C-alpha cells in the first residue's frame, strides 16, 4: 500500500483493479522502451552469460525469462535464473563480459545488491522494474507498469514477462514471436471475461491446502499461483513440476485438498495430466488450465479453464491471470483483504516491524 492510498474495506480491492488493467498496460509495454530494448538486446547478445535475478514474483519472472532468452533469444545455456539474495551471498559471482537482468517491481534492496555485485565485477546491468523506479548501477532500464497500490503484484508481473519476451525476441531476432506478443492483450481480455470467477473462488475457498503443478516455462506460473494464494488468502500452497510432484510429494495429497494444474500444449502436458489423474483418484478437487479443445484434459478435470492458443514460450503471460483471479476471489470469499498481505493482522504486523527495524 502507498501512503496516499487508503486501504479498501471491501471488493473491489486494488488488486482487482490491477488484474483488469492488464490488457491495456501490456499494449503499452513496448512504448517508451524501444531504445532501451535495442541497446539491452545488443549487450545480452554479446554476453558470455546472462544472469536473471529476482526474489518472490520477480524470481518467478526471471525463471520465465530464462526460458525466453534461452529459446526465443537463442542464448541456450548462457541464460540462467537465480534467486537474487542467494546469488549475492553464495555465487557463483558474475565475471567481466557477463550480464545481469535484475528484476524488481519496486526496486528492492536485494535487487540493488545484485546490481552492485554485477557492476563491481564488471558485468553489464539491465533493470526490469516499475515506472518511476530507478535501480542505481544498471546500464539499461526497461520500465513495466506503474507501481501497484496492492501488495499482491499482478500487472507488474505480467508486464515484466511481456518486457522479457520483447527483449528475448529482440536478442534472437524472433519476429514471429514479436508479432504474437501483439495479440496477447486481446487474448488476455477474453480470458478475463471467461468465467464466473467469484463463484469459482467461493467454491474453492472451502479447501484448506492447495497444490499448483506446471512444467517448462509454467513451472514458474505454478510458483506464482501458489505465492498469490498464500499472500492474499493466507492459505498454505505449494508448487511443483509434474515429475517432482509424482516423486514423493503426492503422498501428502488429501481428498479435501485442491490441485491446480497448468497444462497448455508442450512437452510437460502429458505428465501433467498424469498428475490430474492421480489427484482425481485420491479424491482431491482438480482445476486444469488447458487449451479449449483439449478433451483429454477436460476428462481428468473437475473444472477446466480454457487457455487461448499461443506458443508455449509466451503462455505464462496468459496462464498466470486465472491464478491471480483465483487467489483474489478465494481471499474475498474468506474475508481477507488481498491488498495488505496480512498487515492488518497484529501478530504479522509486529513480525514485519521487527524485520524492518
Domain ranges of the chain: 14-190, 196-333
Q: For 84-88, 123-127, 313-317, 348-352, which range has the lowest pLDDT when averaged over its residues?
A: 348-352
CA distance readout (Å), 16 to 11, 26, 89, 289, 304: 8, 16, 36, 21, 22
Q: What pTM was estimated for this model as a whole?
A: 0.96
Question: Confidence band (pLDDT; 50, 70, 90) for 194?
Answer: confident
Q: For 78-82, 115-119, 214-218, 349-353, which range has the lowest pLDDT when averaged over its residues?
A: 349-353
Q: How far apart are CA 335 and CA 113, in angstroms?
A: 37
Residue-level pLDDT at 353: 85
Q: How far is CA 140 from the centre of its chain?
A: 22
Average pLDDT (84-97) is 97
**Domain 14-190, CATH 3.40.1080.10 — does that match?**
no
240: its cell numbers: 511443483
Asked whether residue 46 carries a pLDDT value surpassing 70, the answer given is: yes
Is-contact 14 148, C-beta < 8 A? yes
Question: Confidence band (pLDDT; 50, 70, 90) for 15?
Answer: very high
CA distance readout (Å), 230 to 278, 324, 351: 24, 11, 17
Over pLDDT 90: what percentage of the chain? 94
May I ask the CATH class of domain 196-333? alpha beta
Average pLDDT (256-284) is 97
Q: How far apart are CA 232 and CA 225, in angstroms?
A: 11
Sheet holding 210-214, edge to edge: 237-240, 210-214, 258-262, 285-291, 303-307
Question: Confidence band (pLDDT; 50, 70, 90) for 253?
Answer: very high
Let me know if the fold of 14-190 is the same as that of 196-333: yes
Q: How far is CA 153 from the centre of its chain?
A: 9
Residue-level pLDDT at 158: 98
Average pLDDT along the chain? 95
Residue-level pLDDT at 2: 55
Q: How far apart are CA 80 and CA 326, in angstroms?
A: 30
259 beta partners: 211, 286
Q: How many residues in the chain?
A: 357
Residue-level pLDDT at 357: 58
Backbone angles phi, psi at 263, to 5 degrees: -135, 60
Residue-level pLDDT at 1: 54
Asked whether residue 256 carries a pLDDT value surpassing 90, the answer given is: yes
Asked whether residue 348 carries a pLDDT value surpassing 70, the answer given is: yes
Is-contact 15 339, C-beta < 8 A? yes
Amino acid at each position: 500500500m502507498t501512503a496516499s492510498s487508503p486501504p479498501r474495506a471491501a471488493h473491489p480491492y486494488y488488486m482487482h483493479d490491477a488484474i483488469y488493467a492488464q490488457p491495456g498496460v501490456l499494449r503499452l509495454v513496448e512504448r517508451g522502451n524501444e531504445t532501451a530494448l535495442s541497446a539491452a538486446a545488443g549487450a545480452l547478445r554479446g554476453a558470455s552469460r546472462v544472469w536473471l535475478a529476482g526474489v518472490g514474483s520477480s524470481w518467478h519472472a526471471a525463471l520465465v525469462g530464462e526460458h525466453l532468452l534461452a529459446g526465443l533469444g537463442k542464448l541456450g545455456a548462457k541464460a540462467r535464473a537465480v534467486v537474487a539474495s542467494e546469488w549475492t551471498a553464495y555465487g557463483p559471482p558474475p565475471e567481466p563480459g557477463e550480464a545481469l537482468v535484475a528484476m524488481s517491481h519496486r526496486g528492492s534492496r536485494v535487487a540493488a545488491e545484485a546490481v552492485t555485485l554485477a557492476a563491481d565485477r564488471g558485468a553489464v546491468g539491465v533493470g526490469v522494474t516499475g515506472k518511476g523506479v530507478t535501480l542505481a548501477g544498471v546500464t539499461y532500464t526497461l520500465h513495466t507498469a506503474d507501481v501497484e497500490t496492492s501488495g499482491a503484484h499482478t500487472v507488474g508481473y505480467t508486464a515484466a514477462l511481456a518486457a522479457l519476451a520483447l527483449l528475448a525476441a529482440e536478442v534472437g531476432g524472433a519476429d514471429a514471436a514479436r508479432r504474437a506478443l501483439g495479440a496477447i492483450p486481446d487474448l488476455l481480455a477474453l480470458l478475463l471475461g471467461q468465467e464466473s470467477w467469484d463463484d469459482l473462488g467461493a467454491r474453492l475457498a472451502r479447501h484448506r491446502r492447495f497444490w499448483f503443478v506446471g512444467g517448462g516455462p509454467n513451472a514458474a506460473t505454478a510458483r506464482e499461483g501458489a505465492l498469490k494464494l498464500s499472500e492474499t488468502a493466507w492459505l498454505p500452497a505449494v508448487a511443483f513440476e509434474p515429475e517432482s510432484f509424482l516423486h514423493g510429494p503426492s503422498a501428502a495429497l488429501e481428498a479435501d485438498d485442491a490441485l491446480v494444474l497448468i497444462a497448455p500444449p508442450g512437452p510437460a502436458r502429458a505428465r501433467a495430466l498424469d498428475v490430474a489423474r492421480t489427484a482425481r483418484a485420491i479424491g482431491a478437487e482438480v482445476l486444469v488450465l488447458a487449451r479449449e479443445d483439449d478433451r483429454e484434459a477436460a476428462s481428468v478435470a473437475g473444472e477446466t479453464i480454457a487457455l487461448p492458443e499461443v506458443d508455449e514460450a509466451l503462455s505464462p503471460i496468459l496462464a498466470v491471470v486465472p491464478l491471480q483471479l483465483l487467489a483474489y476471489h478465494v481471499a474475498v470469499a474468506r474475508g481477507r483483504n488481498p491488498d495488505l498481505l496480512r498487515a492488518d493482522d497484529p501478530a504479522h504486523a509486529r513480525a514485519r516491524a521487527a524485520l524492518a527495524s
